[in-house]
């Protein structure tokens, strides 16, 4: 077990152990805490298998996090918001912390100069894990660690009204709906 630890969570789950639901276009923030000074990399694995590199990006500062502190993306004082996109289904946020900076050029790139987030060439959690293993293989095993948080993207417009019919075949019955 490395002496480096990272913990990742989404804004609706302070424990990082649940699976909260978000609607498309709902704001979300991702937080990571490390016990040692480390470089934190955040990835989102979408239900369709596509992978987004959340941190580092072109909107916020560096991805270096001091020991026993938490970095949140976006930062509370950021002049932008980060919102949930589609597709609907189970999402996984992977945090990778490393004692040294990593070169992710092999697995992710900014498609255009206007892109704020890099696109990861790997698909799915297994593909991302395999790609990251290539990046971290030269490093000592105790100098990097990862953690995963989950959230679900739900339909944009859930049914908010409905109807209920209650019938009885007993004469004079009282029906109570609570």
The string of pLDDT tens digits covering residues 25-83 is 999 999 999 999 999 999 999 999 889 999 998 888 689 999 999 999 998 888 888 99
Q: Is residue 100 part of a domain?
A: yes
Q: What is the pTM of this model?
A: 0.80
Number of domains in the chain: 1
Answer yes or no: is 42 within a domain.
yes
93: pLDDT strictly greater than 90? yes
Structural domain that includes position 130: 6-154
Indicate if the pLDDT at residue 2 is higher than 80.
no
Q: How far is CA 69 from CA 28, 139, 163, in A?
A: 20, 24, 50
Q: Is residue 177 part of a domain?
A: no
Token pair recorded at residue 71: 């970095």
pLDDT for the residue numbered 1: 46
Strands (E), 46-168: 51-55, 64-65, 69-73, 89-98, 108-109, 118-120, 144-154
pLDDT in tens, 126-153: 888 888 887 887 787 778 999 999 999 9
Question: For the domain that residue 35 is a member of, what is the CATH number?
Answer: 2.60.40.2550
Residue 168 placed within a domain = no
Q: Does the residue 114 lie in any domain?
A: yes
Q: Are strands 144-154 and 21-23 parallel, antiparallel or unpaired?
A: parallel
Residue recorded with tokens 């002496």? 3
Q: Is residue 164 one of the residues assigned to a domain? A: no
């Amino acid at each position: 077990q490395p002496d480096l630890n990272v913990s990742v969570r989404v804004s609706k789950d302070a424990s990082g152990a649940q699976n909260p639901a978000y609607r498309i276009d709902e704001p979300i923030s991702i937080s990571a805490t490390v016990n040692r000074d480390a470089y934190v990399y955040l990835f989102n694995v979408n239900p369709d298998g596509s992978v987004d590199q959340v941190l580092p990006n072109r909107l916020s500062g560096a991805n270096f996090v001091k020991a026993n502190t938490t970095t949140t993306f976006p930062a509370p004082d950021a002049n932008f918001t980060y919102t949930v996109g589609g597709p609907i289904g189970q999402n996984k946020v992977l945090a990778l912390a490393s004692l040294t900076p990593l070169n992710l050029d092999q697995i992710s790139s900014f498609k255009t100069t206007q892109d704020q987030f890099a696109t990861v060439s790997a698909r799915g959690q297994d593909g991302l894990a395999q790609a990251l293993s290539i990046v971290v293989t030269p490093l000592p095993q105790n100098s990097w660690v990862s953690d995963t948080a989950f959230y679900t993207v739900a339909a944009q417009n859930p049914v908010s009204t409905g109807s209920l019919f209650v019938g009885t075949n007993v004469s004079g019955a009282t029906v109570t709906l609570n």
